[in-house]
């Protein structure tokens, strides 16, 4: 007699579906929202003790919504979603931003962020919040507030940051996609380290209100297994609100389409080096592998890139400007969180590296801050001209090094800036495009000693359509979503 499949078997089978497929099963009444959410909860409860990716669980609220007639009938009705615990707030749920002082105060958010509103309108059911480094400041997810998140490919390594909790949860098969954010590479870096797709959209494509603004370096989206999910979720959530500060230009929607099958040959530049760091040979090999695939697809690839990203003096100048902007924003975030706590943050509330960055930000003059904005604006215009002069995309490694061992990127009392310095090799190829506001995606092509590495495709401002079309072409050839982490639900 054949035994009936167990709940665990069913859960593990569903863990290989992407969000689009899961939504279709719910629409076709093959599964109910309650069944899907219940199976997601089962996976998290069974497996996350090994990963520490989901730090706040709202299972009861999720099940209540899943069974309610009030669940919005959007394109992802009944599909579970995790929210990164950094700036994307949900009314009535914890929001700690990785900060010890916020955790100790047990702070509860009082409003929905606009993007959370879009997730809910799309029919997503939020089941919890994911781990993040303190204020998202470094390229690893090991906050003192909630402890380290591990990489599902190898527990000795980190999943990247600052969306490491989101990436680990998706890579482990808890759910098909999870909210993530990117201020210097924080979607793309964890996507690369966990074998996922991670798109940083154009500045202004995704609403950041009502508390944050669209014209900064940070933007939100998701990490996922498939380009289809990344595209379809952007269609559903990349919708501005009245009063948003930036509206990215449109070059054609929906992003989730079959246009990649008739895409004309593109001109793609290639960059494999950076003046500040040594690039691991496996990361370089991944880029050449992607370049070969792109050439086979009919695209023209040549080793050339914007001069401003190759000149050591200009690159150092940009690094200075980004560092000033970063530290000033950390200091500003202290004020933002102090308003929620009802008191000033003190040194014991935060980690030594965060305190150091905030103090550095407070010391900056208005003149220095304006100068930094000018440097970043100049780069934005120069890079825009490179794309306007005939190139469609730029191909680079996502990171200069493969995933680091846990504890390598953490700050200490003796060396509070160790985490910031050690994060540099992971962000040299990503952060320039936070300053310019251009869209960029990390795709899981390549590996190093059994761990994933990624390649990055960068488009002109507003050209997510081209990035996603080419990514779909590569996905059809590589079929990376079939290759799952050894620790997979």
CATH label of the domain that carries residue 436: 3.90.1300.10
Residues 334 and 349: their CA atoms lie apart, in Å, by: 10
Residues 131 and 140: their CA atoms lie apart, in Å, by: 10
What confidence score (pLDDT) does residue 222 get?
98
Residues 271 and 283: their CA atoms lie apart, in Å, by: 11
CA 210 from centre of chain: 20
Coil, helix or strand for 57?
A: strand
What confidence score (pLDDT) does residue 11 get?
62
Residues 102 and 97: their CA atoms lie apart, in Å, by: 8
- In 67-163, alpha helices (H): 100-105, 114-121
Residues 192 and 159: their CA atoms lie apart, in Å, by: 9
Residues 42 and 19: their CA atoms lie apart, in Å, by: 18
At 125, which helix (H) or strand (E)? Answer: strand 125-130
Residues 59 and 45: their CA atoms lie apart, in Å, by: 10
Q: Is residue 311 part of a domain?
A: yes
Q: Is residue 1 part of a domain?
A: no
Q: Is residue 6 part of a domain?
A: no
Q: Is residue 7 part of a domain?
A: no
Q: Are 157 and 139 in contact (CB under 8 A)?
A: no
What confidence score (pLDDT) does residue 412 get?
83
Q: Is residue 242 part of a domain?
A: yes
Q: Is residue 184 part of a domain?
A: yes
Q: Are 85 and 163 in contact (CB under 8 A)?
A: no
Q: Are 451 and 442 in contact (CB under 8 A)?
A: no
What confidence score (pLDDT) does residue 471 get?
98
Residues 78 and 80: their CA atoms lie apart, in Å, by: 6
How much of the chain is helix, strand and coil, in % rounded to 5? 45, 15, 45
Name the residue among 440, 482, 455, 480 with its Cα closest to residue 292.
Answer: 455
pLDDT in tens, the chain (489 residues): 334 445 555 666 788 999 999 999 999 999 999 999 999 999 999 999 999 999 999 999 999 999 999 999 999 999 999 999 999 999 999 999 999 999 999 999 999 999 999 999 999 999 999 999 999 999 999 999 999 999 999 999 999 999 999 999 999 999 999 999 999 999 999 999 999 999 999 999 999 999 999 999 999 999 999 999 999 999 999 999 999 999 999 998 999 999 999 999 999 999 999 999 999 999 999 999 999 999 999 999 999 999 999 999 999 999 999 999 999 999 999 999 999 999 999 999 999 999 999 999 999 999 999 999 999 999 999 999 999 999 999 999 999 999 999 999 988 888 988 989 999 999 999 999 999 999 999 999 999 999 999 999 999 999 999 999 999 999 999 999 999 999 876
- Residues for the chain: how many in total? 489
The boundaries of the domain holding residue 141 are: 12-482
Residues 6+ apart with CB under 8 A from 377: none
Q: Give backbone dihedrals phi and psi of 77, rounded to 5 degrees, phi first.
A: -55, 120
What confidence score (pLDDT) does residue 252 get?
85
- The residue to which tokens 């964890």 are assigned: 190
Coil, helix or strand for 200?
A: strand
Residues 6+ apart with CB under 8 A from 77: 23, 26, 27, 33, 71, 123
Cis previous bond, 231, omega within 30 = no
- In 196-304, alpha helices (H): 227-237, 281-296
Residues 6+ apart with CB under 8 A from 54: 44, 48, 82, 127, 128, 129, 130, 131, 165, 169, 174
Name the residue among 221, 265, 264, 215 with its Cα closest to residue 244.
Answer: 215
Q: Are 488 and 15 in contact (CB under 8 A)?
A: yes
Q: Are 300 and 266 in contact (CB under 8 A)?
A: yes
Say if residue 432 is exposed, middle or buried (CB neighbours under 10 Å; 0-12, 13-18, 19+): buried
Q: Is residue 377 part of a domain?
A: yes
Q: What total number of domains does the chain contain?
A: 1
Catalytic residues: 84, 162, 186
Residues 235 and 191: their CA atoms lie apart, in Å, by: 20
Residue 338 structure tokens: 């102090």
Q: Are 140 and 423 in contact (CB under 8 A)?
A: yes
Residue 159 structure tokens: 């999943």
Q: Is residue 323 part of a domain?
A: yes
Residues 138 and 422: their CA atoms lie apart, in Å, by: 9
């Amino acid at each position: 007699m054949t035994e009936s499949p167990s709940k665990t078997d069913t859960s593990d089978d569903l863990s290989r579906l992407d969000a689009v497929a899961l939504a279709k099963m719910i629409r076709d009444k093959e599964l109910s929202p309650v069944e899907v959410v219940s199976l997601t909860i089962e996976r998290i409860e069974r497996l996350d003790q090994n990963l520490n990716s989901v730090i706040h669980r709202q299972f009861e609220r999720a099940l209540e919504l899943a069974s309610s007639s009030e669940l919005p009938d959007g394109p992802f009705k009944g599909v579970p979603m995790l929210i990164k615990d950094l700036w994307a707030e949900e009314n009535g749920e914890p929001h700690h931003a990785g900060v010890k002082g916020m955790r100790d105060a047990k702070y509860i958010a009082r409003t929905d962020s606009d993007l959370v509103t879009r997730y809910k309108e799309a029919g997503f059911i939020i089941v919890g919040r994911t781990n993040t480094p303190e204020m998202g400041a470094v390229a690893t997810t090991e906050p003192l507030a909630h402890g380290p998140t591990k990489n599902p490919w190898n527990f000795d390594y980190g999943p990247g940051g600052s969306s490491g909790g989101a990436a680990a949860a998706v890579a482990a098969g808890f759910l098909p996609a999870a909210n993530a954010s990117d201020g210097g590479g924080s979607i793309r870096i964890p996507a690369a380290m966990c074998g996922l797709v991670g798109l940083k959209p154009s500045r202004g494509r995704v609403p950041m209100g009502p508390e944050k603004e669209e014209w900064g370096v940070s933007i939100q989206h998701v990490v996922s297994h498939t380009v289809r999910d990344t595209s379809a979720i952007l269609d559903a959530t990349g919708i501005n609100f009245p009063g948003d500060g930036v509206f990215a230009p449109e070059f054609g929607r929906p992003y989730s389409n079959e246009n990649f099958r008739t895409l004309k040959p593109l001109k793609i530049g290639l960059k494999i080096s950076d003046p500040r760091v040594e690039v691991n040979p496996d990361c370089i090999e991944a880029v050449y592998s992607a370049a070969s695939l792109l050439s086979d697809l009919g695209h023209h690839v040549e080793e050339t890139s914007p001069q401003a990203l190759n000149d050591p003096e200009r690159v150092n100048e940009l690094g200075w400007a980004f560092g000033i902007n970063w530290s000033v924003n950390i200091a500003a975030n202290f004020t933002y969180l102090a308003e929620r706590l009802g008191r000033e943050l003190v040194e014991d509330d935060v980690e030594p590296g965060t305190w150091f960055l905030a103090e550095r930000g407070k010391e900056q003059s208005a003149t220095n801050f304006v100068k930094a904005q000018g440097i970043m604006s100049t780069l934005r215009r120069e890079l825009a001209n490179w794309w306007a002069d005939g190139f469609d995309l730029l191909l680079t490694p996502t990171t200069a090094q493969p995933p680091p061992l846990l504890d390598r990127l953490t700050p200490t009392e003796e060396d509070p800036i160790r985490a910031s310095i050690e994060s540099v090799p992971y962000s040299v190829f990503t952060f320039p495009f936070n300053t310019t506001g251009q869209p960029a995606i990390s795709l899981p092509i390549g590996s190093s000693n059994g761990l994933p590495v990624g390649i990055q495709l960068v488009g002109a401002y507003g050209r997510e359509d081209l990035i996603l079309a080419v990514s779909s072409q590569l996905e059809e050839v590589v079929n990376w979503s079939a290759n799952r982490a050894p620790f997979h639900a």
